[in-house]
Each structure stands twice: as C-alpha cells, then as structure tokens.
Structure 1
Amino acid sequence: MDLTGFPFTATDRTQVAEERKSGGSGEVTSRVQRFGEVRARRVDHSPGYVADHWCRKGHVLFVLEGELVTALDDGRVVVTGRGGSYQVADDAEAHRSSAPSGASPLIVDRRPPGASLGASTGASTDVHGRVHRPRPAAVRGGRRRRRASR
C-alpha cells in the first residue's frame, strides 16, 4: 500500500456520503474515502448481517463498535470485538464476515483496479471492492427513454 501523494486530512465520517449494500442477510452502510491508492471506510453492519460472498481482498480492520465474526476458508472462525483488529493480505485466506449483533469496523485497504476512474466517470466501488459505473440517464430504469427533440 502506497501512502504517498495526499496531504494530512482529518475526516468527519458523518459528512461522507453513505453507500448501502445488502448481504446474504442484513445490510452494510459504508462511508468511503479514497486517498491515492488507499481506501479508508467505516462499515456499519446491521444486526444479523451475513456477507453474501467470500472475500480474498487484503485489509487492515479495526472494530470501533460491536463484534465481527469472520469465517476463514480453512474452517477457523475469528471473533473480533471492540478495540480488536485483524490484518490479511490480498489473495491470502478467503474470509466472510457476519455480525450477529451488529458491528462497525474501520477498514483500510487498496483501491481495487479501475476504481481510480471514480472521480472522472462517476464510477464507485462498493464495500467489497466491486466497481459500479452509473448507467446513462437515457437507459436508467431498464428501458431506453426517448429524449425530447428541441
């Protein structure tokens, strides 16, 4: 992770736009900021949240509130409570999170490939690093709309 190319920045996470995503059950709400190749995000997991996928992305994670339960693909289960943290490298152990009673970790990782386009194209990444690009206004809603002629 390259921590160069950006100034000292203080963040009031309540002022950062929210991104929501449903899991296998429950949902997460994240507030994401990007600094060069670094992505820092607070991710609020609703009570009963279970991820809908296995993640292979590297993270440094620090639990601010609640308790996060992380299943690893080798069968281990790690419970990380308030004030605890874990670190995992890209393409190391696949992991899947759940939060039976809710949890709010701060997660720092590298932006996924292609995410650097976000500022110029309106593309964004969800809390799991998947890139989403907005559809043109003419095709939103699943059908093409005709534009009025002038």
Structure 2
Amino acid sequence: MENLEIPFHTIDWKNVSRTEHKGETGIAYWQSLEFSGLRIRLVEYSKNYLADHWCEKGHIVYCLEGEVINELKDGTQSILTKGMSYIVSDNLSSHRSKTENGVKLLIIDGTFLQSTI
C-alpha cells in the first residue's frame, strides 16, 4: 500500500468550495479535498437524483443523512440510511446512486482501492 504521508489535518467543510454535478435527474453537490492518491468528498444528492453514469471506481461511502439507493448494473439494489456504509474496490462493480428525498454522504476513494484483478 502506498504511504500517503498526510500530516494532521482538520477539515472545516463550510470553507470547502462546493461544485455542482447534474445527474440524469437531480443534482449532486460535491465538496472535495484531494491529496496524493486520496480524495475525500462531502456529497449531497438532491431529491429525485439519479446518476448519469455507471461508476467503476472504488469507494468507501458513509451515509450522514437521508437515504440512497445503490443500484448495480445487474439490477441488484441496496439501501443506505444514516449510519450505514458500503465499500468496493475499483473495477469490481458497475454501480450508480439514486435518491427519492436526497442524501448527504462522506465518500473516500483513491489508489488504495485499486483492484488487482
């Protein structure tokens, strides 16, 4: 595993700029911090959000508020509610997110999630 060498760091999310990403329906708002080999995001999906793509990236996802439906390309679905997480490595699933009432997530990804397959 790669040594990221990140010194002690506090994050005041209200000072992290927010970007807007349109879904197939709805909008995702990202606040992102990037380090070498690591990305940390606070992500909010609006009501009736549906991602506009199938994602192959690995993530560690923690649900802070609301509910998100995780859909796999094979049709399998799972639901995350406040306090729940999922984890997946790169290239081990095609997944996308959708919401009915919106959700707030902490998402961590980076080179440490690369699959050896």
Whether these two folds match at TM > 0.5 is: yes
1:53 partner letter: H
2:8 counterpart SS class:
coil
Equivalence for 1:78: 78
Task: Pick 1 or 2: higher relative contact order, CA cutoff 8 A, min separation 6.
Answer: 2
Whichever structure has more helix as a proportion of its residues is: 1
Partner Cα distance (2:74, 2:89) in 1: 15
Partner Cα distance (2:61, 2:34) in 1: 16
1:51 counterpart SS class:
coil
Cα deviation for residue 93 of structure 1 reads 1.0
Partner Cα distance (2:83, 2:28) in 1: 20
Which whole-Å deviations, capped at 9, do the CAs of 1:54-111 have from their partners, x for residues lacking one? 0000000000010010111122100000000000110011001001110011000017
Query: What is the TM-score with the length of structure 2 in the denominator?
Result: 0.90
1:70-149 matches, within 5 Å, as 70-110=70-110
1:92 partner letter: L
Between the two proteins, the alignment pairs up a number of residues equal to 111
Q: RMSD of the TM alignment (CA)?
A: 1.2
Unaligned runs of 5+ in 1: 112-150
Equivalence for 1:128: none
Partner Cα distance (2:43, 2:96) in 1: 14
1:50 counterpart SS class:
coil
What is the percent sequence identity of the aligned residues? 36
Whichever structure has more strand as a proportion of its residues is: 2
2:90 counterpart SS class:
coil
Query: What is the TM-score with the length of structure 1 in the denominator?
Result: 0.71
Unaligned runs of 5+ in 2: 112-117
Cα deviation for residue 4 of structure 1 reads 2.1
Cα deviation for residue 25 of structure 1 reads 0.5
Task: Give the greater-gyration-radius structure (CA).
Answer: 1
Partner Cα distance (2:59, 2:97) in 1: 13
Partner Cα distance (1:92, 1:98) in 2: 19
2:25 equivalent to 1:43: no
1:107 partner letter: I
